[in-house]
Structure 1
Amino acid sequence: MGVFRNENAAALLFRDTQQPGKCSSAHLSSVSRGTAGAEDYHEGVRKISFAILLAVVVCVAGCKKPPQPPTTTKTFDVRGKVIETNPARSEVTLDHEAIPGFMEAMIMPYKVKDSAVLKELHPGDRITAKLFVEYDGEVYKNAKLDQIVVIAQGKPDYKPTMQFHAPAKGDVVPDFKLTNQNGKAIHMNEFQGRVLLITFVYTRCPLDDYCPKMSRNFAEVEKTLATDKDAAAKTHLLSISFDPAFDSPKVLKSYGEIYAGKTDFRHWEFAVPLQSDLRPMEEFFDLGVTSDDNKSFTHSLSTVVVDKSGRVAEWYPGNDWTAAQVAARMKELARAA
């Protein structure tokens, strides 16, 4: 504690408060008079102030929190039965199958991204969905369900606005009508006699693991088949947009050239269904599509291999299929009589 007695005199007293195990303070008791004493006093204050400031800086630097690991969003496929819904909490309780890489089969509640979908869910309904979970390298958190599709009803008297159908082997693909990247009218039945690979995209899709990944996979399949003239002659690729309001033939052609390069589109076409066929096509291929602003869509993934007779041979409802796997299956079907 310092006490100024007059203009030219000062007394400064530091008492030693050192305790065992604690940092000690300087022990100083002096009384000085005159100008020299005042200068010594101010010099001491400056030194002490600098020491305190340095200690604070060291303390702050040493007390910084360790850098937090980056958080990523992981996606899991979910299949299960609805037990109950809780709109007040934006939750649905599911009796779900094992979720590979995340958890075992169990009954538990999940938050939903869009609480409006709860109006379409009823106890006993069987659904498929995507589970989006934040992961920081140690802990999973903020799990939310999205892209929920009812694949079987729990209430016979309940009729949802759309009746989705999970494609099964042997299902006859309806003769949906479309318009391709050149503005030409095409339809499904004209591909009979060839093995047809179909997937669904929209050109403004911002999610790299969705439409862009499907288009990159198709580009790899296209390159693989091009190395086998016989297989190329007996196969065809078709990317279908579910956004006809924006994806005009001109837009589709530009989008197609990004993935297929400069091409005549004879082996890989890009198309949109007629408006009258859009919803039936989404229902048949189990393609759950919703949009709030007509600019971005929440949608599921659906990729189908159709055999030469126009029947479903394989259905891939996610994005974990590989180009090599699909190309091999198409070659096998192309060789079949």
Structure 2
Amino acid sequence: MKRRALWTALLALPLLTGVSGCRYGGDGKPSGMTEAAYPVRGRVISVDANTQEIMLAHEAVPGFMEAMTMPYKSVDAAALGEVHPGDTISAQIVVDKDSDGDFHHARLRNIVIVGQARPDAVPQKQYHVPQKGDAVQDFALLNQDGKVMHLSDLRGKAVLLTFIYTRCPLGDFCPKMSRNFAEVNAALQKDQAAYAKTDLLSISFDPVYDTPAVLRSYGGAYTGKYTQEKFDHWQFAAPSKADLPAVEQFFNVGVTGSGTQIQHSLSTVLVGKDGRILDWYPGNDWKPAEVVQAMETAAKA
């Protein structure tokens, strides 16, 4: 991972966190500013409970900044007790953007531990990072028709799968994944040969709420066919509550919280016709057109 030196990153910090001359409204946000959020993934260098800061060495954030190491305030104070130096986390960098396009008051929210450095850290899960060539485990899922399906049922087709939950309120997370899948689905319909050799699968990590009926309604809304949707190319399914941890760990989906307050990372995987991983997209910056091209290539293999 390419990173700037720490002192260089710290020199850039005032641009992000400086509030000199800013006036704050009753909600605690600078007046005249809009909030922007960017998904980020990185390794924790240190945690300071007194200042509520996490020193994070993170990957490049498309559309925002290059890879660097710098401190961020944590919006959730409770997360500071769970995060340890050496942990890999996914989160959102939240900033206030002024009318000139400058960013202020950088902080972290929706922190999810996706790789642990200490065995006593919470949550106690060992996440598998999807790699090209890995054989996908044959998980059982309950689909929108109330039928049990296995991932092996999709062998012989190139499969794009992602993770969502239907109550997700964050536009850049589950809704964006579902919009992207809708775009991929529509594009593949234009190539009937590729369409016949591909499948889409959205997997919920909220099986208690996301019943077959809920998934059917949610899926029909995104395909645009509503109650007329047959789900013959894009399915929606959920593992059992008992199987959910294993599914999350294999596909590197960090999930904490419950109900409408679930915090999670993103994971989208392209699986070849032989059931092995062809590519992994861990964020929300992948482009549907590029994935369609990759699926068409995989369908011909």
Q: What is the TM-score with the length of structure 2 in the denominator?
A: 0.81
SS in 1 for 2:57: strand
* Superposed counterparts of 1:1-337, under 5 Å: 70-138=32-100, 139-155=102-118, 160-260=123-223, 261=225, 262-292=228-258, 294-336=259-301
For the structure 1 residues 141 and 322, does the alpha-carbon distance in structure 2 shift closer, same or farther, using more than 3 Å as the test?
same
Q: Is the 8 A contact 2:164 2:205 kept in 1?
A: yes
SS in 2 for 1:313: strand
For the structure 1 residues 281 and 86, does the alpha-carbon distance in structure 2 shift closer, same or farther, using more than 3 Å as the test?
same
For the structure 1 residues 97 and 258, does the alpha-carbon distance in structure 2 shift closer, same or farther, using more than 3 Å as the test?
closer
Between the aligned partners of 2:148 and 2:123, the Cα distance in structure 1 is 31
Between the aligned partners of 1:274 and 1:203, the Cα distance in structure 2 is 16
Between the aligned partners of 2:171 and 2:210, the Cα distance in structure 1 is 18
For the structure 1 residues 194 and 119, does the alpha-carbon distance in structure 2 shift closer, same or farther, using more than 3 Å as the test?
same
Can you give the 5+ residue segments of structure 1 that lack an aligned partner in the other structure?
1-64
Aligned length: 269
Q: Is the 8 A contact 1:209 1:319 kept in 2?
A: yes
Q: CA deviation at 1:100?
A: 4.4
Q: Which has the larger radius of gyration?
A: 1
Between the aligned partners of 1:161 and 1:143, the Cα distance in structure 2 is 29
Q: Is the 8 A contact 1:169 1:312 kept in 2?
A: yes
The percentage of aligned residue pairs carrying the same residue is: 51
SS in 1 for 2:260: coil
For the structure 1 residues 194 and 245, does the alpha-carbon distance in structure 2 shift closer, same or farther, using more than 3 Å as the test?
same
SS in 1 for 2:162: strand
Q: CA deviation at 1:97?
A: 4.3
Between the aligned partners of 2:81 and 2:172, the Cα distance in structure 1 is 29
Residue identity matched to 1:334:
A
Q: Deviations over 1:112-137 (max 9, x none)?
A: 12222223322233434321212123
Can you give the 5+ residue segments of structure 2 that lack an aligned partner in the other structure?
1-22, 24-29
For the structure 1 residues 126 and 295, does the alpha-carbon distance in structure 2 shift closer, same or farther, using more than 3 Å as the test?
closer
For the structure 1 residues 264 and 103, does the alpha-carbon distance in structure 2 shift closer, same or farther, using more than 3 Å as the test?
closer
SS in 2 for 1:127: strand
Q: What is the TM-score with the length of structure 1 in the denominator?
A: 0.73
Q: CA deviation at 1:209?
A: 2.1
User: Bigger relative contact order, structure 1 or 2, given CA contacts below 8 A and separation 6+?
Assistant: 2
For the structure 1 residues 296 and 123, does the alpha-carbon distance in structure 2 shift closer, same or farther, using more than 3 Å as the test?
closer
Between the aligned partners of 2:68 and 2:57, the Cα distance in structure 1 is 6
Q: Which residue of 2 aligns with 1:31?
A: none
Q: Which residue of 1 aligns with 2:5?
A: none
Q: Which residue of 2 aligns with 1:54?
A: none
